[in-house]
Amino acid sequence: MPAYPFDEIEPKWQRYWAEHHTFRTPEDVDPDAEKCYVLDMFPYPSGAGLHVGHPEGYTATDIVARYKRMQGVNVLHPMGWDAFGLPAEQYAVKTGTHPRDTTERNIANFRSQLKRLGFSYDWEREINTTDPDYYKWTQWIFLKLHERGLAYQAEVPVWWCEELGTVLANEEVIDGKSERGGYPCERVPMRQWILKITDYAERLLEGLDDLDWPDSTKQMQRNWIGRSEGATVRFPLANHTEELEVFTTRPDTLFGATYMVLAPEHPLVDEVTTEEHADAVSEYRQQAQKKSELERTELQKEKTGVPTGGYAINPVNGKEIPIWVADYVLASYGTGAIMAVPGQDERDWAFAEKYNLPIVRTVQPPEDFDGDAYTGDGPAINSGFLNGLDVDTAKDRITDWLEEHGHGEATINYKLRDWLFSRQRYWGEPFPIIHVEGEAKPVPTNDLPVELPAIDSYNEILEQDAALSPLGALDDWVATTDPQTGQPARRETNTMPQWAGSCWYFLRFIDPHNDEQLVDPEKEAYWMPVDLYVGGAEHAVLHLLYARFWHKVLYDAGVVSTQEPFQTLVHQGLILGETEYTAYVDADGAYVSAEHVDEGTDTRTGTDVSPQPVEQEDIQKDDDYFVLMAHPEIRVDARSHKMSKSRGNVVNPDDVIDEYGADALRLYEMFMGPLEQVKPWSTSDVDGVYRFLGRVWRLIIDAQGDTQVVGEAPNREQLRVLHETIQKVTDDIESLSFNTAIAKMMEFVNAANKWDAVPQAIAEPFVKLLSPFAPHIAEELWARLDHAESIAHADWPEFAEEHLKREVVEVAVQVNGTVRGTIEVAPDAPEADALSTARADDNVARYLDDGTVRREIYVPGRIINFVVN
């Protein structure tokens, strides 16, 4: 039998909320009324359904939304589906199932799972990025980008992933493998749509300053944008008219440039290569091209390169310096070419040493410097007119000189590259573009949306041989006419990447059914920016950078009123599986202590060992290590792992709800620890919060199921306990410290259980405090306390200072910093009184008698310390 009837009351209140539109967002609000836009990163509805990580962030935002609502704030708290994407299409490729069918099924599953958790979303604002009424506006925004010159097509080397059958953005490829799925990718040149995010690099960087985001996330974005100040320097080429342009952050070291390096892909390689070196260079380039990005990084210890035989002329001293080709220079950064200054650059030093290239120091290292390249500050040497200047001054001086002589200028460079925006997939937003006589023309906005062609089954596409893009196989759809000229035209057959829909969905929630505008400007001005945005740290760069970029474009286009979309951002920490204890055994079945094991082998013998799970009962702690109880000399590993199907440690929220109820699950997820921290799941710990809810229930409901609160006025202690709880819970919600808020409510219940009876005037405010955390039980208790209206819009309790006061407090008495006793005095007791009470304590007196009191420290209500010797 459950400790309280959660299985009845949870569905009951979920029905009530839906029928009464309890969480409908206020319409036609007073523009001056306080608002709070509380947003979760909307999920991709995967086939696997919800995992326990989802409700973590969702519960946090739900608590804030419910709390703000009770404070009379207008709250927007919506939910939707980021439903375009590769998994549904990969499933379609395998089974022929239309991605729309898969997606609809998954959404239905996600929705019902979410509803079981009792979140206070305004479900009437649910959006779905695959809905033509939604992606009409995604396409509309693309046209804005196009109109503003921020979307262009180019033949560029892109990451092609054979397995996924599409190209991917740089950001989606990690170490030469796709971010999703980990499939190998290769660089191939293809004609693609590209968004000019680099035009916004500076603003994307500056905008970070005023955001209330985790520092680490801001830092990651800064690193990704990668601003660096330096100079462009143009080196004339010996025997050629062209110049070789490089970017350097150290123009002050120009006199020390002893060779040049071109990336293998650099367009001038053929120009500068002499006949004598042509074969070697061409072979090197082929080798470099074959290397995957992974191999390049793996082989980074050893730099390689070949001379071209060509020479450049150092503009500052007229010296001829050799030009090399080496793949330690990246084609995609700067100009794809560098001036190498081994004296002040460790990479160049390593290369110069290997190939016996000259090294000239142009900064005087300190006397005790014994390294190779010196990258620190110091006076310039061997540098003509720069000699004696410190690095910063020398940079300024040489930059001026370059500008005066037309050899270069100050330059700011960014690591950020333009955003590869097209994918060769069916299940994405079609581009609102037609091609007429080879020219890309935008589809007029009143012809939007350009809908995905209807197909009965994905097999229709599979059966056709669509070389690159599935849409290209559908001739009826591709062939169209230019609405302006009537000429025959072909539709763009690429689709947009999954990021597109999530770049602006927070705007659509504000006005989800508007078919005239993306969002009504008045409503947008009221609700934006998002006041609290909660989602995983895995989106620290991609989604959050792309969305900021689009938002700034929309701001420039006058569509939105704020420069930044998300004012406050919080990442919920990952929830790991239950802690696992692992012992290791060798081939003979003998235990191998964990400190000798590294990646499945015994480091002493090199033989394989196999992991063996151990129950917690068979483990003990010996100093800093866990060991087997039966073999204390054998250490075992104790750690929690990321939940995964393959490891079999996934916890399904539905199972937890079946056993403990949604309120307990919500409460546990918040009680585990700080929201932003990584935390291991522990099902036995769910018992703790579940028991707490049972105690809350029995505090107010007796064994017969009747309400048992009393009408009497509360006493001083009851008021103090209540008001301390109000204060703590309120403060903790504001700071998102939900774990300590719950601990305080537990303390309240522990205290209240000792009372003979609970006054209604105490029970009611407490139920309100509990309601954002455990809304179902709170609604039920609220109703049983004789309220006809939902607690969702009841007034949040306020604490009164007068009830927090204590008559006496316990003060620790230390002698020489060690506590020797405690005394009870008024919190504001005069020093003389407090000290004499302290001296009167028997144990304190013992220590005072041992010497002379040299000093007395008294912090009222806190501590007394006697310094004695």
Partner RNA sequence: GCGAAAGUGGCGGAAUUGGUAGACGCGCGAGGUUUAGGACCUCGUGCCCGUUAGGGCGUGGGGGUUCGAGUCCCCCCUUUCGCACCA
- Using CB under 7 A as the binding rule, whether residue 69 contacts RNA is answered as no
Cβ closest to RNA, residue 76 vs residue 359? 359
* Whether the bond into 236 is cis, omega within 30 of 0: no
Give per-residue burial for 498-522: e unless 16+ CB within 10 Å, then b.
bbbbbbbbbbbbbbbeeeeebbeee
Residues 6+ apart with CB under 8 A from 384: 255, 316, 317
Binding segment (CB under 7 A) for RNA, from list 420-428, 554-562, 791-799, 858-866: 858-866
Figure out which of the listed residues 822, 837, 839, 845 binds RNA, where binding follows CB under 7 A. 822
Binding mask 718-737 for RNA (x = CB under 7 A): -------------------x
Surface-to-core class of residue 371, CB atoms within 10 Å of its CB (0-12 exposed, 13-18 middle, 19+ buried): exposed
CA distances from 864 to 801, 828, 839, 856 (A): 26, 13, 10, 7
State the minimum distance, in angstroms, from the CB of residue 531 to RNA: 23
Q: Retrieve residue 418's tokens.
A: 């333009």
Residue with smaller CB distance to RNA, 590 or 804:
804
Binding status of residue 863 toward RNA by CB under 7 A: yes
Kind of pairing between the strands at 305-313 and 320-326: antiparallel
Cα 284 from Cα 300, distance rounded (Å): 16
517 or 677, CB closer to RNA?
677
Binder among 130, 258, 413, 422 for RNA (CB under 7 A): 413
Interface residue with RNA among 95, 112, 216, 481 (CB under 7 A) is: 216
Query: Of the two residues 223 and 481, which places its CB atom closer to RNA in the complex?
Result: 223
CB 536 within 8 A of CB 571: yes
| HSE, side-chain direction, 13 A CA sphere, residue 587 | 6
Tokens 């359904």 identify what position? 49
By CB under 7 A, residue 265 contacts RNA: no
Q: Does 788 bind RNA (CB under 7 A)?
A: no
Residue with smaller CB distance to RNA, 61 or 739: 739
From 361-369, 376-384, 514-522, 804-812, span contacting RNA (CB under 7 A): 804-812
692 in contact with RNA (CB under 7 A): yes
The pair of three-digit structure tokens given for residue 634, joined into one six-digit string: 């054998």
Question: Is 263 among the residues that bind RNA (CB under 7 A)?
Answer: yes
Write phi, then psi, for 182 (nearest 5 degrees).
70, 35
Describe the strand order of the beta sheet including 532-534 as a list of residue ranges. Answer: 74-76, 35-40, 532-534, 569-570
How many of the chain's residues bind RNA (CB under 7 A)? 87
Rounded to a whole number of angstroms, the minimum distance from the CB of residue 674 to RNA is 4
- Beta carbon of residue 315, minimum distance to RNA (angstroms, whole number): 16
| Stretch near RNA under the rule CB under 7 A, chosen from 321-329, 427-435, 649-657, 774-782 | 321-329
- Of the candidates 215, 599, 801, 849, which one interacts with RNA according to CB under 7 A? 215
What token pair was written down for 12? 């009951």
Q: Does 173 bind RNA (CB under 7 A)?
A: no
The smaller minimum CB distance to RNA, of residues 216 and 481, is found at: 216
Interface pattern 497-536 for RNA (x via CB under 7 A): ----------------------------------------
Query: How many whole angstroms separate alpha carbon 419 and alpha carbon 200?
Result: 12
785 near RNA (CB under 7 A) = no
**From candidates 333, 355, 555, 755, binder to RNA by CB under 7 A:** 333
Residues 6+ apart with CB under 8 A from 459: 96
* Beta carbon nearer to RNA, 180 or 415: 415
Least gap, CB of 21 to RNA (angstroms) = 35
Q: Does 338 bind RNA (CB under 7 A)?
A: yes
Nearer to RNA, 98 or 234 (CB): 234
- What dihedral angle (degrees, nearest 10) is formed by the CA atoms of 832, 835, 841, 843? -150
Residue 420 C-beta: closest distance to RNA, Å: 16
Bridge partners, 185 (sequence order):
161
Cα dihedral 18, 20, 22, 25 sign: positive
Distance of closest approach, residue 204 Cβ to RNA, in angstroms: 16
**Residue 56 vs 524, nearer CB to RNA:** 56
Return the axis-axis angle of helices 6-20 and 99-116, rounded to nearest 10°. 110
For helices 653-660 and 683-700, angle between their N-to-C axes, nearest 10 degrees: 40
Q: How far is the CB of 660 from RNA (least distance, A)?
A: 11
Taking CB under 7 A as the binding criterion, the range among 218-226, 276-284, 369-377, 797-805 that sits at the site for RNA is 218-226
Interaction of residue 818 with RNA, rule CB under 7 A: yes
Among 750, 757, 833, 851, binds RNA (CB under 7 A): 750
- Smallest gap, in angstroms, from Cβ of residue 452 to RNA? 32
Structure tokens at 744: 């305080």
Between β-strands 809-815 and 863-868, what pairing exists: parallel, antiparallel or unpaired? parallel
- Inter-residue contact 736 to 673 (CB < 8 Å): no
Ranges of H-type helices in 226-345: 269-272, 275-290, 293-298
User: Which of residues 480 and 816 has its CB atom nearest to RNA in the complex?
Assistant: 816
Tell which one of 129, 192, 248, 399 touches RNA (CB under 7 A).
Answer: 248
Q: Which of 39, 141, 208, 329 binds RNA (CB under 7 A)?
A: 329
Residue with tokens 């409510």: 745
Q: CA-based angle 222:225:230, to the nearest 5?
A: 100
Site for RNA (CB under 7 A): which residue of 525, 687, 708, 826?
687
Q: Which of 71, 228, 292, 514 binds RNA (CB under 7 A)?
A: 228
CB of residue 480 to RNA, shortest distance in Å = 41
Q: Which of 743, 761, 826, 845 binds RNA (CB under 7 A)?
A: 743
The piece of 155-163, 226-234, 443-451, 600-608 that touches RNA (CB under 7 A) is: 226-234
Smallest separation (angstroms) from RNA to the CB of 820: 5
Chain centroid to Cα 482, Å, comes to: 43
Report the residue from 282, 682, 730, 837 that binds RNA according to the rule CB under 7 A.
682
Contact status: 352 vs RNA (CB under 7 A): no
Write the single-letter amino acid at 240. H
The distance of Cα 620 from the centroid of its chain, to the nearest Å, equals 37
User: Cβ 345 to RNA, closest distance in Å?
Assistant: 6
The residue from 740, 755, 761, 839 that contacts RNA (CB under 7 A) is: 740
Q: At 744, is the secondary structure helix, strand, or coil? A: helix
Of 610, 605, 604, nearest to 589 by C-alpha is 610
Short-list 764, 650, 634, CA closest to 699: 764
Q: State the CB neighbour count (10 A cutoff) for residue 266.
A: 20
Among 816, 826, 837, 845, which residue interacts with RNA (rule: CB under 7 A)? 816
Distance between CA 134 and CA 505 in Å, rounded?
9
Q: Does 100 help bind RNA (rule: CB under 7 A)?
A: no
The footprint of RNA on residues 600-629 (CB under 7 A) is 621
Phi, psi (5° rounding) for residue 725? Answer: -65, -45
Contact 544, 220 (CB under 8 A): no
Residue 674 makes contact with RNA by CB under 7 A: yes
Site for RNA in 535-594 (CB under 7 A): 537, 541, 579
810 binding RNA? (CB under 7 A)? yes
Q: Is 837 in the site for RNA (CB under 7 A)?
A: no
